[in-house]
Chain A
Amino acid sequence: MAEIMLELNEINTFYGKAHILHDLSFKVAAGEVVALLGRNGAGKTTTMRTIMQLARPQSGTVQFEGNDITRWATHKVAQAGIGYVPEERRIFGDLTVMENLEVGRQPVRDGLPAWTVEHLFELFPNLAERRDNRGKQMSGGEQQMLTIARTLMGNPKLLLLDEPSEGIAPVIVEQMAQTLLEIKAKGLTVLLSEQNLHFARIVADRAIIIEGGGAVFDSTFEDLETHPEIRDQYLSV
């Protein structure tokens, strides 16, 4: 197995008194695309927020490229090379497309593709046409592209994508899958959360299923197919 990029170790995260993640552990190797699957409320978003240190785990560690990043400031985590695309997209509505991209811009990292606005406009042609439009004037699909493009402007090594296919038209979902494959081909490591099994299977190498804040399955999609009972139990298909 290639070198480990991200490792969660017995993570326990709370929202107030509600215990959300229970001793969650998993690893993501460099260059891998891993899908985090699970029902509504299983804890996928919380896992992403914990990695970004937007939610502070009460115990356990998050390791990124061998560094313990638990309790780092969120902007330090981002600067270390983790790019986060949140579920609700969170476009800066009053800022133009170009300005949204500018907020995400970070210095180029060694040995990684340096994303420029031009590259990103090739990847997401719709954005190029709307470069001077404000974020709030864009459709849901366009906002989803913008939020990914904005995060790529930070030249991340690891991309966290929270339900990229949620709430967008099926044609756009197909397009999005192609785009993700292109991003993968550039050597990025991706952890994506999904409820759309079909979409996840196209882009991901491996599936981790979480349920009640813990990992209940961690293997290939082929493995998942040979165990339909797992799929039926933990995923709402």
Chain B
Amino acid sequence: MSFYFAQFLTGLSSASSLFLVACGLSLIFGVTRVVNFAHGSFYMLGAYVAYALVQFVPGSILGFWGSVLAAALIVALVGVVVEILILKRIYNAPELYQLVATFGVVLLMQDAILLIFGGDDQFGPRAPGLDSVVRVFGEPIPEYDLVLIALGPIVLGALWLLLNRTRWGILVRAATLDREMVASLGVNQSWLFTTVFFLGSFLAGLGGALQLPRVSINLLMDLSIIAEAFVVVVIGGMGSIPGAFIAALLIGELNAFGVLVLPQATIVLAFVVMAVVLVIRPYGLLGKAETLAHVAGQVELPIRPASTLAKSIAGLLLIGLVVMPFLAGEFAIVLATDVLIFALFAASLHFIMSNGGMVSFGHAAYFGLGAYGAAFVIKYAGGSMELALLAAPLMAAAGALIFGWFCVRLSGVYMAMLTLAAAQIVWSTAYQWQDLTGGDDGLLGIWPSEWAKSKTAYYYLALVLCGGGILAMRRMIFSPFGYTLRGGRDNPNRTESIGINLRQHQWAAFIIAGVFAGIAGGVYVFSKGSIFPDEAAIPRSVDALVMVLLGGVQTLSGPVVGAGVFRLLEDEISRLDYWRAILGVIIISIVVIAPEGIAGFIKKIAVKAGFERNEEQAS
């Protein structure tokens, strides 16, 4: 019994830590409507800065707490700089662009921290004066944990007072409800947003700094905490601080006790809880439906069949792709194979995004599932490559069938978060289920059949499968199915009212996209000969989004162009030292400067020059 009580207290202390991070995220989302991926980076920065500061004042109680506070303040200022330089420019952009841009900040911060603090894991000191344990029912509980347990409710109370008893708080709450009205009453929103960002980043930094005596500090802290914080914020209801508190308790305890029952599956458990909560309460425990003003996003352009010019360019491209191996060296052939694979992957994401209006933030799940499905056939069933390439889409379809059922019940940011959670389930399963997947060591030695062994032969195989997949999706876009999807995207109520089951169509689209991502994953695994959990991780999902954005969401050729440019770019910069930062800057620049993407940009010029019909005028 006493052991369980101790476990309960451990759960409470991790709940407090989680709450500190999640409440800042929720606060920022509530007011600015931006889901800030970089929030986890602020948490990590808080830990690193506190670690650096504490070195100057070893063993001093005042020094320790002073360092923690100073670290939180420094992070808050960094947050303000990020807000002013980047976020201010994208407050009115669609959610997807915002998420991707803040992911650019994540990449930038990773390299900045690597540069300043070095890449080694660090172990912080115990908190002076709180370095022993107290006995509770005979079980040892670290004193520091008790402080953390108290801190959660204290911060909750302080935030409540701030939000309910000060003019600033009233303005913040009003802005959460109706930004435009707040501005019409003479309130400078821009300033309000900056102060909210200051406070939110402060809390993230504080949360990170307080981890110093508890965990090792490393460069993976950002994405692992942000995934957990997303779960907490979504379960609690986005924008609700009491909701975040309840959800943090739920997850903290779930982890504390889950470890006893299913030690391998703690991450999975949290995401399963999230999925269940969202299906029962689509806006989280204490959340509210999105306000109308927000849902009314951009009206997407109708997609039209290709013009003669576009068709001739596509034809030339195809001829180029077919003759390419005769002209280029092996290196170029391998790279081209890669481009084909990612073009299919990106096109499958584009398929649900542009037609279905569904933003998936975890599309790597289906890529990863396809890749593992293929690998399993080779490793465990002794099957052939041909069989494995059949298993890839099946495995991905199975995943998309299950996850999709949950995801299509939601929309907007909530859907994006749930797809991300789904991908985290796949990733963590691949990571934790050592016996099956080899965990971090991956599965090796997965090579193509004899006839496809040469780089050139495999290139042609990829060209047929990926090119065929892309054309098949194009077909579907212009089929009645595609029109129904777009009708549902633009006007869900009307579509439902004429007797169409939109959800079922969306579910089908989700599965189709999963199938093609799975094919891409299957082709990928044989081109590399191995598979690691990373293929299903957040950065891989973001890769796909960036490719789609780079090419332009509103053009069908976008994902293909985007995948090509992205892979070539990545190939160039990944040899550089700080390639993450460079990629981050590129991502942010695209969102801020050319949100219509490369293909969209070219198309705009083509329209201007009179080569193509202007779709807006035609409609």
The docked-state distance in angstroms from the alpha carbon of A78 to that of B186 is 5
From A92, A102, A104, give the contact of B177 (CB < 8 A): A92
Taking the complex as formed, is B264 at the interface, i.e. its CB lies under 8 A from any CB of chain A? no
Whether A95 and B183, one on each chain, are in contact in the complex, defined by CB atoms closer than 8 angstroms, is no
Given contacts A17-B616, A75-B189, contact A92 B184 (CB under 8 A): no
Taking the complex as formed, is A103 at the interface, i.e. its CB lies under 8 A from any CB of chain B? yes
Interface size on B (CB < 8 Å)?
20
Taking the complex as formed, is A99 at the interface, i.e. its CB lies under 8 A from any CB of chain B? yes
For A105, the closest partner residue in chain B by CB is: B167
Whether A75 and B186, one on each chain, are in contact in the complex, defined by CB atoms closer than 8 angstroms, is yes
The docked-state distance in angstroms from the alpha carbon of A154 to that of B185 is 7
CB of B188 to closest CB in A, whole Å? 5
Q: Which residues in B have their C-beta under 8 angstroms from that of A86?
A: 181, 184
The docked-state distance in angstroms from the alpha carbon of A94 to that of B187 is 18
Given contacts A92-B178, A94-B177, A95-B177, contact A102 B170 (CB under 8 A): yes
- The residue in B170, B180, B184, B189 that gathers the most chain A C-beta atoms within 10 A of its C-beta is B184
CB of A152 to closest CB in B, whole Å? 11
Taking the complex as formed, is B581 at the interface, i.e. its CB lies under 8 A from any CB of chain A? no
Taking the complex as formed, is A5 at the interface, i.e. its CB lies under 8 A from any CB of chain B? no
Interface size on A (CB < 8 Å)?
26
Q: Which residues in B have their C-beta under 8 angstroms from that of A105?
A: 167
CB of B311 to closest CB in A, whole Å? 28
The docked-state distance in angstroms from the alpha carbon of A17 to that of B190 is 28
The docked-state distance in angstroms from the alpha carbon of A202 to that of B16 is 61
Whether A84 and B184, one on each chain, are in contact in the complex, defined by CB atoms closer than 8 angstroms, is yes
Q: Which residues in A have their C-beta under 8 angstroms from that of B181?
A: 86, 90, 92
- The residue in A16, A92, A102 that gathers the most chain B C-beta atoms within 10 A of its C-beta is A92
Whether A154 and B186, one on each chain, are in contact in the complex, defined by CB atoms closer than 8 angstroms, is yes
CB-contacts of A149-165 with B (<8 A):
150-151, 154
Q: Which residues in A have their C-beta under 8 angstroms from that of B167?
A: 102, 105
The docked-state distance in angstroms from the alpha carbon of A22 to that of B189 is 31
Whether B185 and A151, one on each chain, are in contact in the complex, defined by CB atoms closer than 8 angstroms, is yes
The docked-state distance in angstroms from the alpha carbon of A90 to that of B299 is 24
For A135, the closest partner residue in chain B by CB is: B177
Contact with B along A69-82 (1 / 0, CB 8 A): 00001110011000
The docked-state distance in angstroms from the alpha carbon of A74 to that of B180 is 9
Q: Which residues in A have their C-beta under 8 angstroms from that of B180?
A: 54, 74
Contact with A along B173-203 (1 / 0, CB 8 A): 1100110111111111110000000000000
Taking the complex as formed, is B171 at the interface, i.e. its CB lies under 8 A from any CB of chain A? yes
From A16, A90, A95, A103, give the contact of B187 (CB < 8 A): A103
The docked-state distance in angstroms from the alpha carbon of A46 to that of B362 is 41
For A136, the closest partner residue in chain B by CB is: B177
The docked-state distance in angstroms from the alpha carbon of A86 to that of B170 is 20
For A85, the closest partner residue in chain B by CB is: B184
Whether B184 and A150, one on each chain, are in contact in the complex, defined by CB atoms closer than 8 angstroms, is no
Taking the complex as formed, is A93 at the interface, i.e. its CB lies under 8 A from any CB of chain B? yes
CB-contacts of B139-184 with A (<8 A):
167, 170-171, 173-174, 177-178, 180-184
Taking the complex as formed, is A116 at the interface, i.e. its CB lies under 8 A from any CB of chain B? no
CB of A10 to closest CB in B, whole Å? 24
CB-contacts of A48-75 with B (<8 A):
52, 54, 73-75
For B182, the closest partner residue in chain A by CB is: A103
The docked-state distance in angstroms from the alpha carbon of A75 to that of B185 is 7
The docked-state distance in angstroms from the alpha carbon of A75 to that of B182 is 8
The docked-state distance in angstroms from the alpha carbon of A130 to that of B181 is 22
Q: Which residues in B have their C-beta under 8 angstroms from that of A90?
A: 178, 181
Q: Which residues in B have their C-beta under 8 angstroms from that of A54?
A: 180, 183-184
Q: Which residues in B have their C-beta under 8 angstroms from that of A74?
A: 180, 183-184
Contact with A along B7-22 (1 / 0, CB 8 A): 0000000000000000
Taking the complex as formed, is A196 at the interface, i.e. its CB lies under 8 A from any CB of chain B? no
Q: Which residues in B have their C-beta under 8 angstroms from that of A79?
A: 186
CB of A45 to closest CB in B, whole Å? 13
Taking the complex as formed, is A133 at the interface, i.e. its CB lies under 8 A from any CB of chain B? no
Whether A92 and B173, one on each chain, are in contact in the complex, defined by CB atoms closer than 8 angstroms, is yes
Given contacts A17-B616, A75-B189, A90-B178, contact A95 B170 (CB under 8 A): yes
Given contacts A92-B177, A93-B177, A94-B177, contact A99 B170 (CB under 8 A): yes
Q: Which residues in B have their C-beta under 8 angstroms from that of A220?
A: none
Whether B185 and A150, one on each chain, are in contact in the complex, defined by CB atoms closer than 8 angstroms, is yes
Q: Which residues in A have their C-beta under 8 angstroms from that of B170?
A: 95, 99, 102-103
B interface with A by C-beta (< 8 Å): 167, 170-171, 173-174, 177-178, 180-190, 299, 616
Q: List 12 A-B contacts (CB under 8 A).
A: A75-B183, A75-B185, A75-B186, A75-B187, A92-B178, A93-B177, A99-B170, A99-B173, A99-B174, A102-B170, A103-B185, A106-B185
A interface with B by C-beta (< 8 Å): 16-17, 52, 54, 73-75, 78-79, 84, 86, 90, 92-95, 99-100, 102-106, 150-151, 154
What are the nearest 3 A-B pairs in CB distance? A78-B186, A74-B183, A90-B181
